[in-house]
Amino acid sequence: MPLRPTAAALLMTAALAVPTAAPAPAVASPSRTSATSMATAVSADATAGSFQQVTGFGTNPGNLAMYTYTPAGLPSGAPLVVALHGCVQSASDYYRSSGWTKFADQYGFAVVFPQTSSANNSLSCFSWFDAGKDARGVGEAKSVVEMVTKAESLYGSDAHRVFVTGLSAGGGMTADLLADYPDVFAGGAIDSGLPAHCAATQAAASGCQNSDQGLTPAQWGDKVRAAYPGYAGPWPKVAIWQGSADTVVRPVNATELRDQWTNVLGIGRQPSSTRSLPGGTTQELYTDASGQPAVSLFTISGMGHGLAVHPGSGADQCGASGAYFLDTVCSSYYTAQFWGLDGGSGPTNPGLPAPTGLTATAADGSVALAWQAVSGAASYLVFRDGSQVGNPSGTGFTDTGLTAGTTYSYTVAAVDASGAVGARSAAVPATTPGGSTSQCFTASNYAHVLAGRATQSGGLTYAAGSGQNMGLWNTFVTHTLKQTGPGYYVLADGQC
């Protein structure tokens, strides 16, 4: 029965529904095709493995269906990937178009495709915005974890290498699952999605989709930590995919996700490295204290709302284009690499040793650093209190604009010609002379970023520490920043 217009409008704005002008999904949804016939039809398409529905997977408080893809001859102990479809999509759509089955065959892992339906949400959206369905131990979140347990039993999957990814509403649920079950998932990929537990009610969902929520990185991180109070184990590594022209889930969500997960993982918001990928894609990589990849932000210039795919037979190509499967770059390929499913540990698998002989000489408002050269290094990354502040090509760097009477901790890592970041050096402290508690700096947004007083993401500038939005990252916009603590700056235009 058709939705009443008022109900449809509410869900369209609040539940990550897609615009009414968008084309219909490329594959019929479960509301138009029975689950049995769908599984049979799709299984006939599989060239190397099988796609099928799995029933009886345990308690199912979220009223979801479970589908799996398993490559032929999959050995016990292989990884497991959970892939959540977007609104107005089905498990079959995601199986056919996302590209995950190509890499399941190539790298050797099973894929679980959870499916919601119009019985749960009129547009078949996962309920990322409902505290009764997206929290640990309840609703759809619990159903997905029951599927993981079932898949581990059926296929002998490695419980330490379980990953989850999702598009749109599935991306929002992915973020929630990473927060709710860090003991289950080793990594996640949020495609055109939302920060974990951004909304607790449907009424609040639209605000999350469309506007900056004004939270600090610590407040975003607290939403994750509150999802599983007392958890003291390792946190998952997180990939974030966002189109710069997305008007359904605005690009600010990617910035908030970056802030949320770097805070949870205890790393800085200055990327360890940046590289260009096909399809107008820029990857910003954030590494942990050992130089391993922890958070990766992929921004696709000009892409709207959808999952990034790139059909073709090339090694870095995958998927099928269609409604909300957009031909730009194969996100599944780069996500699999980031997770280490290709046999590596990610794009910064350390090869170069840590620099030795690091010295730090403090002066008024600055610290001069020097270290021994590393054979094979093309450049170096300099970190102050865990955040990158420099990328010199030589074996020296002077960090400026520092607060008087403050102790800072420095480390250095070598970078090879491919962009791989090696291990970090032992930390060396340096204390600037004097006792002033605050200092003001007036400069362009570009200069603030170069000096480490601000960061940039998506063409915008943010004050280091406070995260305040400073506008466009260029040499024309000028602001005054006041340092109120080590690595912490606030906007102070006209106040100094």
Q: How many angstroms separate the CA atoms of 386 and 60, rounded?
A: 42
CATH architecture of 359-431: Sandwich (2.60)
| Percentage of residues in the chain having pLDDT higher than 90 | 65
Q: How many angstroms separate the CA atoms of 175 and 116, rounded?
A: 17
**Range 438-456 average pLDDT:** 89
Question: When comparing pLDDT for 494 and 243, which is higher?
Answer: 243
Provide the whole-model pTM: 0.66
Dig out the tokens for 167 from the structure. 């598009």
> Which of these is catalytic: 90, 97, 127, 168?
168
* Nearest Cα residue to 308 out of 289, 285, 329, 287: 329
Residue 46: pLDDT band (50, 70, 90) is very low
Give bridge partners of residue 297 from the DSSP assignment.
240, 284
Q: How many angstroms separate the CA atoms of 416 and 424, rounded?
A: 13
What integer pLDDT is reported at residue 349 of this predicted model? Answer: 38
Q: Would you list the DSSP string of 5-63? A: HHHHHHHHHHS-PPPTTSPPPSS--TTTS-HHHHHHHHHHH-SSEEEEEE---S--TT-
Q: What is the pLDDT of residues 115-173, one digit of tens each?
A: 999 999 999 999 999 999 999 999 999 999 999 999 999 999 999 999 999 999 999 99
The domain limits of the chain are: 5-339, 359-431, 439-491
Q: Minimum mean pLDDT among 200-204, 305-309, 430-434: which range?
A: 430-434
Chain-wide mean pLDDT for the chain? 86
Q: Is 168 a catalytic residue?
A: yes
What integer pLDDT is reported at residue 414 of this predicted model? Answer: 87
Domain 5-339 CATH (choose: 3.10.105.10, 3.40.50.1820, 3.30.1330.200, 3.60.110.10): 3.40.50.1820
Q: What is the pLDDT of residues 362-384, one digit of tens each?
A: 888 899 999 999 888 899 989 88
> 474 — phi, psi (to 5°)?
-160, -175
